[in-house]
Chains A and B, each alone.
Chain A
Amino acid sequence: GNSVTQMEGPVTLSEEAFLTINCTYTATGYPSLFWYVQYPGEGLQLLLKATKADDKGSNKGFEATYRKETTSFHLEKGSVQVSDSAVYFCALFYNQGGKLIFGQGTELSVKP
């Protein structure tokens, strides 16, 4: 079946460290891929998206590239800040049928 798998957390980094959160997916066809962020006590916010193979989504210093050959959409940031501490969710959207499913989430904690 179709699914999204993220690396397990929590991930703890020092400020200005490099961040990678892995995400891989299983799907038929050509889904769109997203990263959502959830800050403590808040709702889900779209961080970035990519709608076709080799697209790169970027926002607020975060980047992710849609890699069809490796079925991956890894999230990266060159220099994290304390304010980036949150839970990050990778998500997959099926254009046919409109179904949107999430990975299990990765908690990021950035220390000063």
Chain B
Amino acid sequence: DAMVIQNPRYQVTQFGKPVTLSCSQTLNHNVMYWYQQKSSQAPKLLFHYYDKDFNNEADTPDNFQSRRPNTSFCFLDIRSPGLGDAAMYLCATSRVTPGGTEAFFGQGTRLTVV
């Protein structure tokens, strides 16, 4: 049973055409993340939501935006995709508790820019 669901699994978009990737979770976790991963490099944190608090990484391009309308859903908007934005985009969730935590990842959306 998938707990972090990303749609679509594969997305092809045109250079400069806005695209939205979606993520939903059934875990009721309070933290949601978006990462960009290229080839077998480390996942690069773009931003994360701690409850409703939005945390943007300093080096995340302005071209990337995010929305979290409720606990279960989070969206990644790329306003004007460039060829360099082709990558795997990973969504993850976690719950912060005094006893520690665990982050769950979705299967990812592979974005191709043509």
- Interface residues of A, Cβ cutoff 8 Å to B: 32, 34, 38, 42-46, 49, 51-52, 87, 89, 91, 93, 95, 97-105, 107
Contact = CB atoms under 8 A, between A and B. Distances in A.
Interface residues of B, number: 25
A98 B43 contact: no
Contacts, number: 64
Interface stretch (B18-26, B62-70, B73-81, B100-108): B100-108
Contact of A107 (B40, B96, B105, B108): B40
23 contacts: A34-B103, A38-B40, A43-B107, A44-B43, A44-B90, A44-B92, A44-B105, A45-B105, A46-B102, A52-B100, A89-B43, A93-B94, A93-B103, A95-B96, A95-B101, A97-B50, A97-B55, A98-B50, A102-B42, A102-B43, A104-B41, A105-B40, A107-B40
